[in-house]
């Protein structure tokens, strides 16, 4: 692996500026972790295009579905404590949930985590409502009791945000506190992710990046709707920075080396990284983690995609490498940029 020298950084700058130009990306932030150290942290473009607010290196982004990695971690903490059993039906741990379709009662925690439950995806996040009360998540989950499965539990991969809202509600029910508070207390704080939270109003608003969209004239503007609704916290609403996500990456790659982490045991982490189902050629799903092949290497991570945001979090443990790419445009090419950065530094 090459050192993070000036010429390497220039190549990365060139790659990113090209992608920003051709894809009309208003702002972007990247982080590169190598050997448990954040080697590069950099912001590009605008955090808010309308008021010419530049992207800072410590800008706070809406993470979208990268949030699911933290929800999965929370669930697995309870598995470690033997409070939850992956192979048990989830309704055992959420007794208020009384599904109308009998087959839903067969769904296990493992199937929820690996998107093999048969549950459909959410079709309306009601971002415009922006609910922020503690009851939002549980009320949303209870509204899904009439859900109709797309396939039998365990039969195949069906990506489902609904499944992760259920998992978050189970975390809340089992812990006796809100999902958001649980994650802050037992995952974010131990990893010293001090700026990060699942509740938008609790993050530094001056550093919060604005979502951007393209209007009818194909011009970039700030979205009138921010993708926040506490009902969808477990699937979507982690707010964090490149630097703090790098702390999560370092902790996970420490576990890969069979060394202790403040949030999980090594054996638990390896269970999460074990493939559960095939998605397509060269891509599988573990327990929360997507597993893909590129350049004869195995990448572990997640992507996010909500109104005004696109995010990519990737780890290549065999190289001690993690690459984070966060953008404030839904159509941004964050995965392509992540792979381009990998090509430059590998």
Q: Domain boundaries in the chain? A: 1-346
Predicted confidence (pLDDT) per residue in 184-214, tens digit = 999 999 999 999 999 999 999 999 999 999 9
* pLDDT at 100 exceeding the cut of 50: yes
What are residue 272's DSSP bridge partners? none
- Please name the residue that has the structure tokens 């893909």: 292
* pLDDT at 316 exceeding the cut of 50: yes
Q: DSSP secondary-structure letter at 278?
A: E
The span from the CA of 32 to the CA of 322, in Å, is 6
313 SS3 class: strand
Phi–psi pair at 15, nearest 5 degrees: -60, -50
* pLDDT at 2 exceeding the cut of 60: no
Angle at 212 between CA 41 and CA 68, to 5 degrees: 60
Q: DSSP secondary-structure letter at 284?
A: E
Question: CB count, 10 Å around CB of 332?
Answer: 27
> DSSP letter string over 33-54?
EETTEEEEEEEEEEEETTTTEE
* pLDDT at 1 exceeding the cut of 90: no
Burial track 213-244 (b if 16+ CB lie within 10 A, e otherwise): beeeeeebebbeebbbbbbbbbbbbbbbbbbb
Question: CB count, 10 Å around CB of 14?
Answer: 12
- Please name the residue that has the structure tokens 């039969």: 155
Pick the CATH number of 1-346 from 3.40.710.10, 1.10.760.10, 3.40.50.300, 3.40.50.2300: 3.40.710.10
Start-to-end CA span in the chain (Å): 5
Asked if 304 contacts 311 with a C-beta cutoff of 8 angstroms, the reply is yes
β strands within the chain, DSSP E: 27-34, 37-48, 53-54, 61-62, 212-214, 220-222, 239-240, 277-280, 283-285, 290-294, 297-306, 309-316, 321-327
The span from the CA of 323 to the CA of 316, in Å, is 9
Predicted confidence (pLDDT) per residue in 292-314, tens digit = 999 999 999 999 999 999 999 99
- Mean pLDDT taken over the chain: 96
Angle at 23 between CA 6 and CA 334, to 5 degrees: 60
Predicted confidence (pLDDT) per residue in 21-79, tens digit = 999 999 999 999 999 899 999 999 999 999 999 999 999 999 999 999 999 999 999 99
Token pair belonging to 154: 């365990």
- Please name the residue that has the structure tokens 């933290």: 70
Predicted confidence (pLDDT) per residue in 232-291, tens digit = 999 999 999 999 999 999 999 999 999 989 999 999 999 999 999 999 999 999 999 999
CA distance readout (Å), 43 to 60, 70, 72, 82 = 11, 24, 28, 42
């Amino acid at each position: 692996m090459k050192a993070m020298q000036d010429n390497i950084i220039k190549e990365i700058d060139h790659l990113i500026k090209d992608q920003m130009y051709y894809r009309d990306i208003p702002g972007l932030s990247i982080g590169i972790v190598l050997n448990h150290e954040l080697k590069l942290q950099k912001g590009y473009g605008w955090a808010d295009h309308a008021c010419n607010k530049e992207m800072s290196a410590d800008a706070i982004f809406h993470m979208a579905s990268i949030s699911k990695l933290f929800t999965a971690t929370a669930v697995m903490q309870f598995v470690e404590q033997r409070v939850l059993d992956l192979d048990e039906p989830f309704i055992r741990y959420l007794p208020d949930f009384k599904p109308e379709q009998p087959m839903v009662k067969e769904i296990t925690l493992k199937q929820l985590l690996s998107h093999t439950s048969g549950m459909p995806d959410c079709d309306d996040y009601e971002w415009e409502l922006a609910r922020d009360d503690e009851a939002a998540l549980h009320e949303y989950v209870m509204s899904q009791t009439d859900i109709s499965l797309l396939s039998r539990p365990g039969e195949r991969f069906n990506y489902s945000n609904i499944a992760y809202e259920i998992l978050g509600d189970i975390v809340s029910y089992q812990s006796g506190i809100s999902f958001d508070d649980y994650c802050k207390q037992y995952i974010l704080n131990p990893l010293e992710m001090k700026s990060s939270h699942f509740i938008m109003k609790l993050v530094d608003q001056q550093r919060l990046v604005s979502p951007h969209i393209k209007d009818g004239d194909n011009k970039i503007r700030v979205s009138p709707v921010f993708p926040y609704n506490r009902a969808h916290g477990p699937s979507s609403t982690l707010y964090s920075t490149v630097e703090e996500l790098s702390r999560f990456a370092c902790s996970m790659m420490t576990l890969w080396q069979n060394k202790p982490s403040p949030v999980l045991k090594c054996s638990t982490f390896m269970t999460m990284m074990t493939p559960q189902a095939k998605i397509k050629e060269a891509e599988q799903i573990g327990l929360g983690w997507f597993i893909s092949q590129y350049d004869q290497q195995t990448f572990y991570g997640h992507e996010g995609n909500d109104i005004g945001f696109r995010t990519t979090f990737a780890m290549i443990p065999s190289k001690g490498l993690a690459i984070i790419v966060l953008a404030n445009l839904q159509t941004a090419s964050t995965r392509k940029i992540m792979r381009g950065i990998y090509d430059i530094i590998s």
